Structure 1
Amino acid sequence: MNNSYLSILDILVTNERVPCRFLHDLPKMGFMDPSAAEDDLKAGATLDVPLWLAENFNSSCRIPLLTVDLPKIYKDAYREILNADACTVDMQKLGQHFYELGCYVAKHDIKGETFRQRFRMLMSASVSSDSIGSIQPLSASERKRAAAAAATERALSGWLQRGDCPLTTANMVANHRKRKRAEMEML
């Protein structure tokens, strides 16, 4: 994913909470765990923290302070569902930014098979606008891509139907073929 300080999408995606397990005791950080009775956050504690905070905890220290676990929508149980038939899954239930968050947590072992299956489905549905409505609810990025694909398809159809500028072979290509044929006849 293209990290950008000013990107609203990037801010929304990195604000998603991911499960993390702390590797060391963190003094005076007990306030992060609402169930903690102590002032210190103990090693082994598991919390859901925003992705930006988890990445900052690890990048600002010499030793990693926590491990980021995969969110449940990227774990094996969901992966099996998505591998069975990704085209029938309601992507809004999995999250509005499923692919973008997946790009961030991909370093934690995620395969992109879901995107490939649904991308093919979106592209084939973009040929007719009524097909897109019949697809399961789409994530925000899928809606954006489907709208762009449908607009491109309409523009191409309009251009092809216009017919005022037919495609012809360029002179350079035609002359090149003649030259090749002449060389072949000489052999």
Structure 2
Amino acid sequence: MANYLSISDILVSNEKVTCKFLHDLPKMGYLDPSCPEEDLKEGTTTDIPLWLAESLSSRRPPLVSVDLPKIFKETYREIFNADACTVDLHKLNQHFYELGCYVAKYDIKGEVAKTLINTFRQRFRMILSASVSTDSMTALQPLSASERDRTATAMNTEKALSGWLKRGDCPLTTANMVANHRKRKRAEMEML
């Protein structure tokens, strides 16, 4: 899932998530800025980057338990399920879908994955209208980074299609193979 050379993936994996340490970690007190000691004690809760949280939670036994970010907790999920089009994902989290894919594995109930799918389904019409909008700045404002990428791709495709249709120098015609097939079918039907 991770893409080593992707700037957006690097930004997503640097998002801070709240973690609770399950064991004492010697000489790791610097991970918690409020810790006056050199060692990190069991039960300490602190925010660490997602890439570090993944590596610490994937160990056997896991060293941390990862909490879901605020935007994927129950209150925000209710908002997204009610009407996701009213939420400004750009202000909330620019990489909403990518972060959701990363943290979905820490959601035992699987609600994050359902929320991501429902949110995109609800916002698809808004993305589609933004791709054909003449006032693109206001239409793009509430979209996340991945939604903006899809909108830009749709805009380019729409422009290319419009240009091709206006050009008109190569009208669509029936392929010879299809025309010959129709003639043969007609001849067979007349024989019967």
Task: Give the TM-score range, shorter chain.
Answer: 0.7 to 0.9
Q: What letter is aligned with 1:32?
A: L
Residue by residue, what CA displacement relative to the aligned partner does 1:86-141 show, whole Å, maximum 9, x if unpaired?
11211122112112211211223312211222233211331233266246522222
- The one of 147, 151, 163 equivalent to 1:146 is 151
Name the TM-score, length of structure 2 as normaliser: 0.83
Please show how residues 12-31 of structure 1 align to structure 2 within 5 Å.
12-31=11-30
Instruction: Say how many residue pairs are matched.
Output: 185
Q: Does 1:57 align with 2:56?
A: yes
DSSP-derived class of the 1:172 partner = helix
- More moved, 26-35 vs 176-185: 176-185
Q: What letter is aligned with 1:129?
A: T
- More moved, 70-79 vs 109-118: 109-118
Q: Any stretches of 5+ residues in structure 1 without a counterpart?
A: none
The two structures, once aligned, show a CA RMSD in angstroms of: 2.3
User: Is the Cα contact below 8 Å between 2:140 and 2:148 reproduced in 1?
Assistant: no
User: Is the Cα contact below 8 Å between 1:87 and 1:136 reproduced in 2?
Assistant: no
Q: What letter is aligned with 2:175?
A: A
DSSP-derived class of the 1:12 partner = helix
1:68 is matched with 66
User: Is the Cα contact below 8 Å between 1:129 and 1:150 reproduced in 2?
Assistant: no
Q: What letter is aligned with 1:162?
A: R
Q: What letter is aligned with 1:146?
A: T
Q: Does 1:157 align with 2:162?
A: yes
Name the TM-score, length of structure 1 as normaliser: 0.85
Q: How much has 1:51 moved relative to structure 2? A: 0.5
2:181 is matched with 176
Q: Give the distance between the partners of 1:125 and 1:8, measured in 2 at CA.
A: 24
Q: Give the distance between the partners of 2:79 and 2:148, measured in 1 at CA.
A: 21
Q: Give the distance between the partners of 1:138 and 1:44, measured in 2 at CA.
A: 38
1:130 is matched with 135
